[in-house]
Structure 1
Amino acid sequence: MSGSAGRHEIRRIRLEGGNDGGAIRIGATVRRAARAWTPAVHELLRHLERKGFAGAPRALGYDEQGREVLTFLEGETLGNRLVWPEWTRTEEALRQVARWLRDYHAAVADFTPPPDARWRVGGQWSPGQIIGHNDASPFNAAWHEGRLSGFFDWDFAGPVGAESDLAWTALSWVPLHARRVAELEGFRAFDRRGERLRTFLDAYGWHGDPAVIVREIQARMSARARDIRAGAVGGDPLYAKLLRQGRAEDMDRAVLELEDFAW
């Protein structure tokens, strides 16, 4: 191979992070194993592309190995770091994530999934619901030069109320998880969580009672803990891994701690 050809060879990079098999970057694309819900997710991403929504990858179909092909979102990610980088804890990040979610909900509001759409979570869509990201956490965020590029990993997208998607996103960014979990991730300002939640909700444009959001977080965490346990028993490798990691127990603990959440 000539020197010129070597310089133009497309690099293959295994991306860090993820609980569900990982992904490979090839040039400006990401390749991931296709699943039963992938066609529905691609329909969603194509809708977002038609709406001009920039904060999500584009669906490019499948490669010769049957993997889904997506565009790469440029930016720093958490990868496998146990302590999260400082940008995940700033008020500016809170506001940017909230505005991203507001704009996403506006873009997806008129999306009607195909009747045969299969989602990983959420069951069948019905009018009045949206297809939420359902996992817009720092684990799936790309941060580039002080700005949120968007969110990747849409595997948990599925039918949900917009308020529920808002609550689930607030959970990891405020954060409102169990104190033990937040401390391991590097968060210590527990006395400011009420203020941070209000900042997040104001940036989104939600002006209801914050207690409603906290109650929704509790309900969703209880449901997710049940899903993890049931999925693990049913043989789902991702849920089995999450159960071994203690995720269900951490969610149970967070639900109890939020009973005494101070504003």
Structure 2
Amino acid sequence: MGHMIEERRLPGGNTNGAVRVGDTVRRVPGPWTPAVHALLRHLEEAGFDGAPRALGFDDQGREVLSYLAGEVVGTARPWPAWVHGDDALRQVAGWLRDFHAAVADFVPPPDAVWREGGTWRPGLVVGHNDAAPYNAAWADGRLIGFFDWDFAGPVTPEWDLAFTAFSWVPLHARHVVAEDGFTAFAERPRRLRLFLDAYGWDGPAERFLGIVRQRVNASADGIRRLAAAGDPAYRKLVDHGVDRSLDIAVEELADFAAE
């Protein structure tokens, strides 16, 4: 008699929750899934091991990905203190630097569809666009990689870098990051420089903060636009005030240099 491998629901996932089956993850695909799988196959061929492998589709039509074994911050607040340590910040910046190097020569399929749109052209990379603490896997204090590549799409490297800094320095609104367990606001300018140095971005912090503000504004506007168009996942975000928190973050970043 054949035995069924148990399916376990994974924590998180705003829209199409993932289940773990053995050492794979199964998720309901979207129109963007073929383009994301092309990206993940490129990363595999490039020898980049900080991302899941795309393993096709199962008999229920779900996408199949390799499971990144490790600890995740999950949904509990505040997050573990190590999430906001210098070591995690350095490792995340190093991961992003290596990922951008691995993806630099990826040319998406001509029919690629990305969840939040965008058209690739030379000079852009297909960024992760959501390399935040809730999408990271860790083992013994080491960053294994990032999962949930649904928001991957063509951007400038700085655009991807801006969201990652926003999430990890962190540069989000004070009330949001305080809930996550971060209150060392006076440390943020030093942590931002540490992050940029570890990535290898050597421009002035002020110019980078301008990019962060543009990136966060675009994120808030995108949430409102997609909610207005009737997307239930984005309507939920608006109901929870996520777009408003992003607006507050942009306002606060105007005074960031004075911290």
**TM-score interval for Structure 1 and Structure 2 normalised by the shorter chain:** over 0.9
User: Is the 1:15–1:79 contact (alpha carbons within 8 Å) kept by the matching residues of 2?
Assistant: no
Tell me by how many angstroms 1:92 deviates. 0.3
1:12 to 4, 7, 25: 7
Structure 1: unaligned runs, 5 residues or longer: none
Give, as a single letter, the amino acid of the residue that structure 2 aligns with 1:30.
V
Tell me by how many angstroms 1:22 deviates. 1.2
Tell me by how many angstroms 1:210 deviates. 1.0
Pairs within 5 Å for 1:75-94? 75-94=70-89
State the Cα deviation string for residues 186-236 of structure 1 (Å, max 9, x = none): 101000000000010111111111112211111111111111111111111
2:145 to 146, 150, 160: 150
Which residue of the partner structure matches residue 239 of structure 1?
A: 234
Tell me by how many angstroms 1:84 deviates. 1.0
Pairs within 5 Å for 1:41-80? 41-80=36-75
Whole-angstrom CA distance in 1 between matches of 2:76 and 2:236: 18
1:226 to 221, 229, 254: 221
Which residue of the partner structure matches residue 40 of structure 1?
A: 35
Structure 2: unaligned runs, 5 residues or longer: none
Whole-angstrom CA distance in 2 between matches of 1:18 and 1:175: 21
Which residue of the partner structure matches residue 161 of structure 1?
A: 156
User: Is the 1:51–1:107 contact (alpha carbons within 8 Å) kept by the matching residues of 2?
Assistant: yes
1:116 to 107, 111, 116: 111
Whole-angstrom CA distance in 2 between matches of 1:190 and 1:18: 29
Tell me by how many angstroms 1:21 deviates. 2.1
- SS of the residue corresponding to residue 148 of structure 1 reads strand
Aligned length: 258
Runs of 4+ aligned residues of structure 1 deviating over 3 Å after TM superposition are: none
User: Is the 1:123–1:159 contact (alpha carbons within 8 Å) kept by the matching residues of 2?
Assistant: yes
User: Is the 1:17–1:78 contact (alpha carbons within 8 Å) kept by the matching residues of 2?
Assistant: no
Instruction: Indicate the larger mover: 114-123 or 142-151.
Output: 114-123
Distance 1:122 1:160, change over 3 A: farther
Give, as a single letter, the amino acid of the residue that structure 1 aligns with 2:15.
D
Whole-angstrom CA distance in 1 between matches of 2:28 and 2:126: 21
TM-score by length of 2: 0.97
- SS of the residue corresponding to residue 22 of structure 1 reads coil
Whole-angstrom CA distance in 1 between matches of 2:15 and 2:208: 28
State the Cα deviation string for residues 121-147 of structure 1 (Å, max 9, x = none): 241111110000000000100011110
User: Is the 1:229–1:239 contact (alpha carbons within 8 Å) kept by the matching residues of 2?
Assistant: yes
Tell me by how many angstroms 1:82 deviates. 2.4
Instruction: Indicate the larger mover: 146-155 or 14-23.
Output: 14-23
Tell me by how many angstroms 1:159 deviates. 0.5
TM-score by length of 1: 0.95
Give, as a single letter, the amino acid of the residue that structure 1 aligns with 2:6.
R
| Residue 212 (structure 1) aligned with residue 207 (structure 2) | yes
Whole-angstrom CA distance in 1 between matches of 2:117 and 2:87: 31
Instruction: Indicate the larger mover: 182-191 or 73-82.
Output: 73-82
Give, as a single letter, the amino acid of the residue that structure 1 aligns with 2:201.
W
Which residue of the partner structure matches residue 184 of structure 1?
A: 179
Which residue of the partner structure matches residue 102 of structure 1?
A: 97
Tell me by how many angstroms 1:48 deviates. 0.2
1:21 to 16, 20, 34: 16
- SS of the residue corresponding to residue 104 of structure 1 reads helix
Which residue of the partner structure matches residue 123 of structure 2?
A: 128
